[in-house]
Amino acid sequence: MSKVQVTYTYISQFIHHSSLHALLRYLPHELHADILRYKFEPDQYARAIGKYLLLKQLEALGYPSEVLKDLTKDAYEKPVLKGIPLSFNIAHSQDLVVCAVSTECQIGIDVEYIKPIERGLFKDQFTPSEWHKIEKDDSLHAFYNHWTRKESVIKADGRGLQIPLQTIDTTQAVIQMRDTLTHWYLQALLLDQAYKAHLCSDSKVNRVVIQKLAPNV
C-alpha cells in the first residue's frame, strides 16, 4: 500500500492575485524559458503554476527549492528530477492545475474539464467495451471518465502516446499493458464537479491526501 499527495489550484485565482513575473521569482531561472515559450499568458501561468505546485510538494518533503534546477525529461519526454527518489506528475485543463507526488509508487494523473465535444471523433481511441458505455451516456461523464483513466495510465507508464490508447481497456479494475508486467491501479479524484480526474499507480494506494493551494505569491 502506498501514499500519494495531490495538490491543486485554479489558474484564474493566480492571475487575479499576482503577476506572472512574481510567480516566476519562486522558480529556478532554468525553467523560465520553457514556461515563456508559450504564446498566451494563461498557458504560461498553467505551466508556471504546475511547477510551483511541485515546488511546494518538494518543500513539504524537506527538499530545497534548488532541486527544481535538475528538472529534465527522459527519452520519452516525461519530466523527471535527477537523483530524487520520488514520482510526480502534473496535469491541467481549463482553469484547474493539479500535481501528484509519491515517494512510494510510480504515478500518473490526468484531469479534464467536462465540455461538449463530438464523441464520434474519438471512437477509434477506445475499446468496444468502453465505447459501449460512452454511447449510453449523453452527459459525457462516461467519456471523460474513461479518457482520464487512459491518460493517467499512459502518463504513469511514462511512454505517453507511444502507447496506442485503444489498447488500454479502462473498464478493468486493474490494467496491464500487453508489453509489460506492471499492473496499474486506478482511482477517481473528486477535485471539482466540473472536472473528471484520475490517479494511476503501480501499487495499491491506501491514502490520497488532497490539498487545495491558495495563491500566496
| Tally of domains within the chain | 1
- Residues 91-132: tens digit of each pLDDT: 999 999 999 999 999 999 999 999 999 999 999 999 999 999
Determine the pLDDT at residue 105.
Answer: 95
Task: For residues 8-28, give the mean pLDDT.
Answer: 94
What's the pLDDT band for 205 if we cut at 50, 70, 90?
Answer: very high
What's the pLDDT band for 14 if we cut at 50, 70, 90?
Answer: very high
Determine the pLDDT at residue 1.
Answer: 65
> How many percent of the chain have pLDDT more than 90?
80
Query: Does the pLDDT of residue 143 top 80, yes or no?
Result: yes
Q: Which of these ranges, 4-13, 72-81, 106-115, has the smallest mean pLDDT?
A: 72-81
CA atoms within 13 A on the CB side of 146: 26
The answer to whether residue 217 is domain-embedded is no
What's the pLDDT band for 173 if we cut at 50, 70, 90?
Answer: confident
* 93-to-47, 75, 162, 168 alpha-carbon distances in Å: 11, 25, 22, 22
Query: Does the pLDDT of residue 217 top 80, yes or no?
Result: no
Query: For residue 41, what is the domain's CATH number?
Result: 3.90.470.20
Q: Give the CA-trace dihedral at 33, 152, 141, 9, to 10 degrees.
A: -40
Domain span at residue 34 reads 2-212
Determine the pLDDT at residue 83.
Answer: 85
The answer to whether residue 151 is domain-embedded is yes
Specify the pTM. Answer: 0.94
The answer to whether residue 63 is domain-embedded is yes
